[in-house]
Amino acid sequence: MLRRVFVSGVSWTYLALVYAFIFLPVAVLVLFSFQDGRLPVPPFNGFSMQWYEAVFADRKLMAALSNSMLVAISSSVVSCVLGFLAAYSLARYKLPGSALQRGLLIAPMTVSYLIIALGLLALLNALHMPLSLLTVGIGHVVINLPLCFAIIYASMGDHQINIERAARDLGASDFKVMALVTAPMLMPSILAAFFLSVTFSWDEFIIAFLLSRFDVTLPVEIWSMLRSGLNPKTNAIGSLVFLASVALLLILEFSLFGRTKKQ
């Protein structure tokens, strides 16, 4: 009995300590985004919204925000469409060398983003292609395509084969089978792949940094803000991104959770 109390005491203490470690930087970040002063470090001088105002007044930051959204959403759509088509092909048809193809499609997952970015940069330079949001998007598809393919491929169960056959048997073309039968059946995993992909692209720094020029994404813009050292404005934009992501996460969690519960 005493031992059990001891073990459970140790457990809860450990839990509390690790949670404190995990939350410490985020708490400091959010707290000092409201700092009434020029330094986001103790002492806390008082509550102020001035840094949030500064964030919204910063046109470069706002442009970077919309660039990030554009790149994240469009690269995720491309990744999901290509990943879905490839998963459909490899899960439903017997192709020679399909293990090799699967290997090729998920290979970028095992290579550091830095190396992917360097390779693309070297090639783009050699081809004299200008860097832009488009090249960032291309890079983000390279890293997100394996993810989307793997998630969607894993969710293509054999029990769905006859359902697709039935649709084809009743006169549906392959694209109609995909659009009216396969995609709706796999919607939860397609959405999961899409949102994960959006998250990764949204947060990605090194590819966006190396493959962009004038229009940059949010992480790259924040990076250049870091040069001015500790700055409550950086806290403010960081907190905004954090709170927006958490809000989105909670919405998804509850809507997707409701969906899985229903099925």
Partner 1 sequence: MTATTLEDADRRKAWGFAAPALLWTLAFFVVPFLFMAAMSLWKREGREIVRVWNLDNYARFFSENALLQGLVNSLEITVIVTVLSVLLAYPLAWIIAERVPKRFQRMALILAILPFWTSYVVRSYSWLLVLSKNGVINQMLTGLGLIAEPLEIASTRTATVIGFVHFFVMLLTLTIYSNLIQLSPNYRRAAADLGANAFQTFWHVVLPLTLPGIMTGAFLTFVLCIGDYVTPQILGGNNELVLPQIIMLQLGRRADFPMAAALSIILMLAVTVAYVLCARWLKIERA
Partner 2 sequence: MTAPVSIENVSKTFGHFTALDKVSLDIRAGEFIVLLGPSGCGKTTLLSILGGFLSPSSGRVVIGDRDMTFVTPAKRPTTTMFQDYALFPHMRLVDNVGFGLRMRGLGKAERDEKALGFLDLVGLKASAGKRPHELSGGQRQRVALARALAVDPEVLLLDEPLGALDLKLRRQMQDELKAIQKRVGTTFVHVTHDQEEAMAIADRIVVMNQGRIEDFGPPSQIYMRPRSLFSAGFMGEVNFVPGRVKAANASSAEVETSLGSLALPAANFTAAVPKAGDVITLTIRPEHFRGEDKSDDPMFALGDARVAGSAFFGTHYRCHLQPCATDGDALVAHLPQSSDVRDGEIVPLAVRAADVVALPAASGTL
- Count the alpha carbons within 13 Å of 99 in the hemisphere toward its beta carbon: 0
Min dist CB 68 to partner 1, Å, is 10
Contact residues for 242 (Cβ-Cβ < 8 A; gap 6+): 26, 29, 30
Q: Measured from the CB of residue 87, what is the shortest distance to partner 1 in angstroms?
A: 9
- Pick one of partner 1, partner 2, none as the site partner of residue 18 (Cβ within 5 to 8 A by kind): partner 1
Interface positions, 154-173, toward partner 2 (CB under 8 A): 159, 162-163, 165-173
Of partner 1, partner 2, none, which one sits near residue 163, judging by CB under 5 to 8 A according to partner kind?
A: partner 2
Q: Which of residues 17-46 bind partner 1 (CB under 8 A)?
A: 18-19, 21-26, 28-29, 32, 39-43
Look up residue 131 and give its DSSP letter.
Answer: P
Partner from partner 1, partner 2, none contacting 14, C-beta within 5 to 8 A by type: partner 1
- Helices 59-92 and 98-106 pack at an angle, to 10 degrees, of 170
Member of 58, 62, 108, 176 binding partner 2 (CB under 8 A): 176
3-class SS letters over 241-257: HHHHHHHHHHHHHHHHH
- Does the footprint of partner 1 cover residue 179 (CB under 8 A)? no
Cβ closest to partner 1, residue 48 vs residue 101: 101
Q: Which does 165 bind (CB under 5 to 8 A by kind): partner 1, partner 2, none?
A: partner 2
Helix (H, G, I), strand (E, B) or coil at 35: strand
Q: Tell me if 212 sits within 8 A of 137, measured CB to CB.
A: no
Residue 47 DSSP SS3: strand
**Structure tokens of 98?**
């399909």
- Residue 185 · residue 163 · CB < 8 Å: yes
Single residue of 20, 49, 95, 166 touching partner 1 by CB under 8 A: 95
For partner 1, which residue of 55, 65, 90, 198 counts as binding (CB under 8 A)?
A: 90
249 binding partner 1? (CB under 8 A): yes
Q: Confirm or reject binding of residue 85 to partner 1 (CB under 8 A).
A: yes
**Rule CB under 8 A: is residue 9 a binding residue for partner 1?**
no
Q: Which does 241 bind (CB under 5 to 8 A by kind): partner 2, partner 1, none?
A: partner 1
- DSSP character for 173? -
Please report how close the Cβ of residue 243 comes to partner 1 at its closest, in angstroms.
9
Is position 116 an interface residue for partner 1 (rule: CB under 8 A)?
A: yes
> Crossing angle for the helix pair 187-203 and 133-155, nearest 10 degrees?
150
Is 151:187 a contact under the CB 8 Å cutoff? Answer: no
Strand partners, 35: 47
Residues facing residue 47 across a β-bridge: 35
Structure tokens at 253: 């969690």
Q: Is 184 in the site for partner 2 (CB under 8 A)?
A: yes
The residue within the footprint of partner 1, chosen from 34, 51, 149, 194 (CB under 8 A), is 149
Q: By the criterion CB under 8 A, which residues form the site for partner 2?
A: 159, 162-163, 165-173, 176, 180-181, 184-185, 263
